[in-house]
Amino acid sequence: MPIMKCSKKGKRGWKYGKGGKCYVGRGAKEKAKKQGRAIALSKARRKGYKIPKK
């Protein structure tokens, strides 16, 4: 899913997919990207792939 534009309390922001949290302010797009990566890793772990930890 892509990073999408959204609004929260009249302010524009970014979110990952249709159901993600809407981030507003400085660094909002990066936070939405980070959320997307976390979701992708979670799905991979559920499928049984071994993901190396940092």
Q: Return the structure tokens found at 1.
A: 């899913």
Confidence of residue 54 (pLDDT cuts 50, 70, 90): low
In a domain, 17, yes or no: yes
In a domain, 53, yes or no: no
In a domain, 37, yes or no: yes
Q: Are 14 and 5 in contact (CB under 8 A)?
A: yes
In a domain, 18, yes or no: yes
In a domain, 35, yes or no: yes
Give the number of domains in the chain: 1
Statement: the pTM of the whole predicted model exceeds 0.85 = no
DSSP three-state, residue 53: coil
Residues of the domain holding 24: 3-47
Q: Return the structure tokens found at 31.
A: 């936070």
In a domain, 24, yes or no: yes
Instruction: Quick: pLDDT tens for 2-43.
Output: 999 999 999 999 999 998 899 999 999 999 999 999 998 998
